Amino acid sequence: MTLGLLTSFAQNKASASLYLTNYTFSETQPEIGFIRVKGTSETKIKSINLGGAQAGILKISPDHKLTIRKEKLKPGLNWLDLPITVKTTAGGTLQDTFRLVRNNFIRNKVVAHRGAWKNTGATENSVAALQHAIALGCEGSEFDVHMSTDSVLYIHHDPIIQGISIAKSTADQLAAVKLTNGESLPTLQNYLETGIRQNKTKLILEIKASELGKASSIALTHKVVALVEQLHAQAWVDFISFDYDVCTELMKLAPYAKVAYLTGDKTPAELAQQNFFGLDYHFSVLQKNPDWIKEAQQKKLTVNVWTVNDPTLMAGLLKEKVDFITTNEPELLLNMISGK
């Protein structure tokens, strides 16, 4: 990592900013979440002003919790943008705009691995594969993120595509890459912009460890969080990574984030102690540690299992009431769940 990047990250970490502990609402979940300050423990909230045309349908408690006024909630309102101005005890002012999203997100355990591609003709990790996962009604669509040498974020599973290293190439070079379905190699920005047009399917964002080393992986993590927040996509995106340091950095940068760990070398107790949202392990890890599912559930961790394509294994995991199953066969799993 360059000195400039290190200095920038240190400044970002030191400066105060706002976040919400949750970004969704519904008639049955009118309490949205708390407004909080991140970046410094010295800065506290003195007063809060809610702006925007929809501010009247919200109320805020003395402890800074946002709540939707159910009686004013219109059926067709899928999300609203809320400007917030906070006066701090230090005499400063913090401002931000948050997108609050109606929680119509599907709950059926099905996460399409790299999108729905195998049975649709789409290229894996393409925008088309994401669109197919949404059309199928999957709870989530998983995808992988890398960063170019000039800090543009791209969607692809492997670090190399068509003989080209993503981390060692510029955005101009990568813009020329075409997927097998004719799409350009998707950027994270155009992928997210597609995903946040709906509020049914979650976007399961995997931050890949950089082939250039740990510092580049952490730099990638900062860029990902910055873009998610820039696009007001917090309600849609859950995060996963094989890199434990990336996961812990995510939780520091984005205290609201739902982060799950992929590698399988941490016990549920270890993850719970570090405030992870969940574990996200290969089925073979859980076969070797058969008590981990129940232990994770007892510790309020979500359990996702990957990559499960066998119907017998799917049935066993459904019986154990895991929260999510990541699969290349979302159609098969959807049919099993629906009883078809």
User: What are the C-alpha distances in Å from 40 to residues 13, 90, 196, 211, 255?
Assistant: 8, 11, 30, 32, 13
* Cα–Cα distance measured from residue 324 to residue 328, given in angstroms and rounded to the nearest whole number: 13
Cβ atoms 53, 79 nearer than 8 A: no
* SS3 label, residue 172: helix
Q: How much is the pTM?
A: 0.95
Residue with tokens 């004013």: 72
Decide whether 3-102 matches 110-338 in CATH topology: no
Task: For helices 244-253 and 214-230, give the axis angle rounded to 10 degrees.
Answer: 40
| Alpha-carbon separation of residue 19 from 33, 99, 106, 232, 255 (angstroms) | 10, 11, 25, 11, 8
Superfamily of domain 110-338: Phosphatidylinositol (PI) phosphodiesterase (3.20.20.190)
Neighbouring C-alpha atoms within 13 Å toward the C-beta of 207: 28
Tell me which residue of 129, 133, 198 sits closest to 157, measured CA to CA. Answer: 129
Where are the chain's structural domains?
Answer: 3-102, 110-338
pLDDT, residue 18, reads: 97
Show the DSSP H helices in 180-282 as ranges.
188-195, 214-230, 244-253, 268-273
Neighbours of 290 (CB within 10 A): 9
User: How far is CA 169 from its chain centroid?
Assistant: 25
Query: Distance (Å, rounded) from C-alpha 323 to C-alpha 296?
Result: 11
Q: What is the pLDDT of residue 13?
A: 45
Topology adopted by domain 3-102: Immunoglobulin-like (2.60.40)
What's the confidence (pLDDT) of residue 43? 84
The H or E element that residue 298 is part of is helix 292-298
Phi and psi dihedrals of 281, rounded to 5?
A: -115, 150
pLDDT tens series, the chain, 340 aa: 333 443 344 444 448 999 999 999 999 999 999 999 998 777 899 999 999 998 999 999 999 999 999 999 988 999 999 999 999 998 899 999 999 999 999 999 999 999 999 999 999 999 999 999 999 999 999 999 999 999 999 999 999 999 999 999 999 999 999 999 999 999 999 999 999 999 999 999 999 999 999 999 999 999 999 999 999 999 999 999 999 999 999 999 999 999 999 999 999 999 999 999 999 999 999 999 999 999 999 999 999 999 999 999 999 999 999 999 999 999 999 999 998 6
**What is the Cα–Cα distance from 281 to 265, expressed in whole angstroms?**
9
- Phi and psi angles of residue 166, each rounded to the nearest 5 degrees, phi first: -65, -45
